[in-house]
Chains A and B, each alone.
Chain A
């Protein structure tokens, strides 16, 4: 089922529900529970299967729908272990795109943000990419101090995976970086780090 967000945040993108659109080619990227939205899309428009290129990666929480997706037999199916691993393939499809490419992304926010960013860099307008949030609310966060990005952040505060500072997650989102902003939580009182709370499940 679609993810429910409890608050609206000004700089956070709004996500919709994938709907089939006419097109010469269809690039579909999904992670984890996003596989369910892909199956729902194909159920609605089985003709997409003939030209669909699906790139899928398991969720950080272990959800892996590879078997279900392969079973419906899209024209091309690739399973990749992570976005970083699959990025070259995705960028190639976006770069080779002719008029009429439809792009669908579903799953976690970090995945959707990165595909939108890469699509924009390839010259597609950011609203040319359809999105649907599914599964985990873990965040992709950039440390404002060292600029390193930590994937799959579940708690607030958390420790930067690069410089080791303790960061709180600001509700401030950059589409260009596809990341939220992390800011040192104990800057004024070094060492006084509040207990981590699981805010992003």
Chain B
């Protein structure tokens, strides 16, 4: 299969031609192991998972890779503030570049190659047509800073957290596929500050526990968790910066179009301790699936109906879909026959 056959030519903006293949639907990271949902720290070791799943490798490169990198370039051209790195974070950027290049070259040798001769590195990225020679740790040999260079070639958002004073400080980030938060506003904040707008979780002690856990994160022992929200049309860039442009789309969904337009948006969040800088890399990988594709898996359809129907109102408001919840519940209820669901999120386990 040639590169052009595997990687979709599709858009996340304007005409929204994004589609999941039948294989991508089967491997979608459905985030609900039970029929109800509440915040939890829910972190588990990020170890290789089932073959073919999004957990198979440290970083998942899928059929949407090329199109998502094009969408990132489009967003950055419009708003360069989506990628920022405070001056002391450059070393962490190199750490991230090394982590991604080594992982890609190891896990996808058909697409990526990394050759090292001391600090002289040669990087080949076939899907994007990149072939660059540069000196590791020498910024002047790359067209961008190290974080920007590598995250223009890796799906998902990335932030880098410095660790000091028993806290984590978000001090670099590439953020173009975000669920309504602004890296330009949040950069420089500590862990509690950047989570300030999240309802309920602080009272539950979620952030204190999560921070305590992350401060102990070890190099070589990454962890992962899920987060999720809802997006109308497969718009990757649901930024607050452009909210006044995409906000109206929420009001135009109907019974006839909800199956096609409403998407469950899942973030696979992973956390890696970086070796030189002692910073933490936080890749936030976004997956989207339309309701009509999701309900082809009977277990997911039943469960999503129950989760959305029973979600506390504060959470539906915070996640920005309170307005459309009745429409979603009505649509999903057609696919819920009331039968019990098996534990865990894999579709084939029932």
A145 to B189, CA, bound (A): 20
Q: Are A144 and B195 in contact (CB under 8 A)?
A: no
Q: Are A171 and B196 in contact (CB under 8 A)?
A: yes
Q: Are B188 and A174 in contact (CB under 8 A)?
A: yes
CB within 8 Å for A11 and B194 given contacts A184-B247, A188-B247, A188-B248: yes
Minimum CB distance partner of A189 in chain B? B251
Interface-lining segment among A73-81, A102-110, A175-183: A175-183
B window 233-277: CB within 8 A of A? 240-244, 246-248, 250-251
- Label chain A's interface by main secondary structure: loop
A47 to B247, CA, bound (A): 58
Minimum CB distance partner of A144 in chain B? B240
CB within 8 Å for A10 and B185 given contacts A165-B244, A188-B247: no
Interface residue tally of chain A, by bracket? 20 to 34
- CB B97 to nearest CB in A, in angstroms, measures 25
Q: Is B182 part of the contact surface with A, judged by Cβ < 8 Å?
A: yes
Q: Are A11 and B244 in contact (CB under 8 A)?
A: no
- CB A146 to nearest CB in B, in angstroms, measures 9
Q: Are A10 and B192 in contact (CB under 8 A)?
A: yes
- CB B252 to nearest CB in A, in angstroms, measures 10
Interface residue tally of chain B, by bracket? 20 to 34
Report chain B residues within 8 Å CB of A9.
196
Q: Is A142 part of the contact surface with B, judged by Cβ < 8 Å?
A: yes
A window 84-108: CB within 8 A of B? none
A144 to B242, CA, bound (A): 9
CB < 8 Å neighbour of B193 from A11, A184, A187, A190: A11
A173 to B188, CA, bound (A): 11
A171 to B195, CA, bound (A): 11
- CB A152 to nearest CB in B, in angstroms, measures 20
Which chain B residues have a beta carbon within 8 Å of chain A's beta carbons?
81, 182, 184-189, 192-197, 202, 240-244, 246-248, 250-251, 323
Which chain A residues have a beta carbon within 8 Å of chain B's beta carbons?
9-11, 142, 144-145, 147, 165, 170-177, 181, 183-184, 187-190
Q: List 18 A-B contacts (CB under 8 A).
A: A10-B202, A11-B192, A144-B185, A144-B243, A147-B184, A170-B197, A171-B196, A174-B186, A175-B188, A175-B189, A176-B189, A177-B185, A181-B182, A184-B247, A187-B243, A188-B248, A188-B250, A189-B251
